[in-house]
C-alpha cells in the first residue's frame, strides 16, 4: 500500500487523539512530506478547534493559561 502524500502548500488538519477521541485540531500548511519527514507550518494566529460532541466536547482551554513556549535550547526550523 502506498501512503498518500501531501504537496507543499496543502492544508493539513492536525488532530490530536486522547483516549481514542479527537480532543483538539488545528489547521497547518504542508512544507514537506516524504517517507522520512512530515514538516508542517503552524501560522501565527491559527485557531485551534475542539470537538462539539464526545467526551471532550465540554472541555475548553482557560484563557488565563500561559502560551506554550519551546523549551530552552530548542529551535524552530524555517524551511
Query: What is the number of structural domains in the chain?
Result: 1
Residue 72 lies in a domain: no
Residue 43 lies in a domain: yes
Listing DSSP states for the chain in one string gives -PPP-PPTT-EEEEEEEETTEEEEEEEEEEEEE-SS-EEEE--TTPPPB--SSSTTTT----TTSPPP-PPTT------
pTM: 0.67
Residue 69 lies in a domain: no
Nearest-angstrom CA–CA distance, 23 and 54:
9
Q: Does residue 30 or residue 60 have the better pLDDT?
A: 30
Enclosing domain of residue 11: 1-59
Give 79's pLDDT tier (boundaries 50, 70, 90).
very low
Residue 74 lies in a domain: no
Nearest-angstrom CA–CA distance, 9 and 25:
18
What pLDDT score does 40 carry?
Answer: 92
Amino acid at each position: 500500500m502506498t501512503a498518500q502524500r501531501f504537496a507543499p502548500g496543502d492544508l493539513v488538519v492536525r488532530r490530536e487523539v486522547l483516549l481514542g477521541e479527537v480532543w483538539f485540531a488545528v489547521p497547518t500548511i504542508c512544507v514537506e512530506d516524504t517517507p522520512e519527514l512530515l514538516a508542517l507550518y503552524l501560522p501565527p494566529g491559527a485557531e485551534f478547534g475542539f470537538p462539539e460532541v464526545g467526551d471532550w466536547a465540554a472541555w475548553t482551554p482557560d484563557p488565563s493559561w500561559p502560551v506554550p513556549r519551546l523549551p530552552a535550547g530548542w529551535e524552530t526550523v524555517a524551511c
